[in-house]
A and B are shown apart, each in its own frame.
Chain A
Amino acid sequence: METSITTIKEGKKVTIIRLIGGYGFQRRLRNMGIREGKVIKVVTRHPFGGPLVVSVDDRNTTIGRGMAERIIVEELI
């Protein structure tokens, strides 16, 4: 099932399906390893609408909640 990464539980691994946004937005994410087909894990979700820390290839990236909402993922089968 496709869903935004903000809904995924901490510690869970999922696959990135698509990035919603303009060229610049997609590029910035891909440059930091967040791109389609990659396995991504939610490390922590800061409360009160704070940022998410996600991990791809064992590297952590902090990403604002609004941006994270535009990362669409699918649960691993």
Chain B
Amino acid sequence: MRKIVLMGNPNVGKSVVFSRLTGVKVIVANYPGTTVDFYKGKMRLDNEAVEIIDAPGTYSLEPSNKAEEIALKILNQADLVINVVDATNLERNLLLTLELLENKKPVVVALNIWDETKHLGININVKKLEELLKVPIITTTALTGEGIKKLVSRLIEAKSPEEIKPKSEEKRWIEIGYITKEVQKITHRHHTIKDRISEATIQPITGIPIAIVVIFVSFWIVRFIGENLIGYIFEPLFELYRDVAMSISDWLGPGFFHDIFIGKLIKGNIDYVQSMGILTTGLFVPFGMVLPYIIAFYFFLAILEDSGYLPRLMTLTDNVFHKLGMHGYGIVPVFLGLGCNVPGALATRTLETRKQRFISATLMAISVPCMAQIAMIFGILGHYNFVYILLIFTTLIIIYVFAGLILNRYLKGESPEIFLEIPPYRRPSIITILKKTWMRVRWFLTEAIPFLFLGVLLVNILYAIGFLEWLGNVFDPVTEGWLGLPKESTTALLIGFLRKDLAIGMLLPLGMTPMQLVISVTILTIYFPCVATFAVLVKELGIKDMIKSTGLMIATALIVGGLMRLILIGT
């Protein structure tokens, strides 16, 4: 199958062009042996199916980081290249364009974000540019879809200019200067509201309060959407399903299979959280409690990403993260980790050095709970008092900062500084956002549910053979003696290795006080990542560093757990 590759700088609306070209069947791909994501899809071109690949954004073909290396490798497989160029930032974008033209692959240029040039007083002579570059140039506004059809119809005209002049970097800049002067006229423009908002969000005095508001509002909206999805859609559905589950329960009758599939009946009825059967708790935890929040979270994250707010947040938090040995990019693994620790662990790749990646990955594994966990925390502690939830998060934030300061002080290695382009604010494209949300939700479903079923199955089997009771006794000195928790909670803490959301559900029937719940939930977050995250971290950090990291997690869990017991319970 022929391959069309989309190449362009970061933040030029490349993924929006991609969404416009491809259908719904889009997959996230990983370049073999790496963890840099890129998107793949298909489209029909003259009755022939062709593959479209959205390469990671790159400023040049001389790579300066992992993502750019991958972009170059993807380019080498291309049969045709669509170079997406930001029309509002022509000069800078032309470096990649010139390099692509020197690369001898047929090229078509999509001059994207075309609609904005008028507002910005930028006038580009497209015909002249076409003459100078000697390849087809199509103006597009991917956000509205304008120009996309024309882009597709002109793909056959793609060519590589016959006269190829390999150039030095200096000569390229000289040529770029010449081209820009010939084709572009900029009339003076006034500061717009958008500019003012942009400045307010990167100035520390105004930006930090705005960031705090944005984060709180985001969480409030995620909770609002999540709760309403549960209350009006998922819970009513599970109430309808109760009759089905009960008739399966009757049909199975008491015994081993009943324990596995339905679990224990509580007061003669199914309790979706406590019954612990594959068809009851195994379905209810992922779909009835966690999925609604996952949908809400990823929807909102996509909006934050595509509007261009994240780079501003990175700038504002850079100072703090730099003190912890990272830099502003460090907020990305935290944010993604709040959705699911696995993408969070993968996102540590955006940091440059081993030291930074180690700190970022370890701190995330220790003190960033995933949305599945957060949803369960809200589900279980929500009806006591909001203070308990606040207590958990405050503790986790304090640990993040303290552990970061210590690691930065004692770890060898370099902590390079932030260097980041801040794109203008853009209206996010609804199709791109929905596609992104859907892909991430689908990923959660396929990854999480098998582990949940496995977890439920394992709990039942281990319980049946008496292993869990034995283990509870072995760890009793730690759980009861040191942490002040009932010894049955050991089981939950161990199951946390498989699924943390399931583990929190298992704490419920133990009849603990709210303070004990606070402690056990915090410990559950700190002591170890779930198995999926663990596997990714081993790959990312290597075995040796992962052993170190694991040691830190367990030590932190024990120290913090003991301290919390002293402070919160007092005995």
Interface set of A (CB-CB < 8 Å, partner B): 24, 27-33, 35, 43-44, 46-51, 53, 57-67
Contacts and interface: CB of A to CB of B under 8 A. Distances in A.
B401 to A, nearest CB: 15
B204 interface: yes
B447 interface: no
A29 to B, nearest CB: 8
Nearest to B208: A46
Given A28-B64, A50-B204, A63 B417 contact: yes
Nearest to A68: B417
Given A27-B64, A43-B199, A51-B417, A62 B318 contact: yes
B448 interface: no
B202 A44 contact: yes
A31 B60 contact: yes
Contact of A64 (B89, B169, B316, B322): B322
B89 A59 contact: yes
Given A27-B64, A30-B173, A59-B421, A64 B315 contact: no
27 contacts: A27-B169, A28-B64, A31-B59, A31-B64, A44-B202, A44-B204, A50-B319, A50-B322, A51-B318, A51-B417, A51-B418, A53-B422, A57-B89, A59-B422, A59-B424, A60-B421, A61-B419, A61-B420, A62-B314, A62-B422, A63-B418, A63-B420, A64-B318, A64-B322, A64-B416, A64-B418, A67-B417
Contacts of A50: 204, 318-319, 322
Nearest to A24: B64
Contacts of B169: 27, 30
A49 to B, nearest CB: 7
Nearest to B58: A31
Contacts of A65: 417
Nearest to A28: B64
Contacts of A63: 417-420
B229 interface: no
Contact of A46 (B59, B204, B419): B204
Contacts of B95: 31
Contacts of A59: 89, 92, 421-422, 424
Interface in B41-82: 59-60, 62, 64
B487 interface: no
Given A27-B169, A35-B173, A64 B202 contact: no
A7 B120 CA distance: 30
B153 interface: no
A53 B173 CA distance: 24
Contact of A33 (B91, B202, B418, B419): B91
Given A51-B328, A59-B422, 8 more contacts: A31-B95, A53-B202, A59-B92, A62-B202, A62-B311, A63-B419, A64-B322, A65-B417
A48 B328 CA distance: 15
Contacts of A24: 64
A43 B202 contact: yes
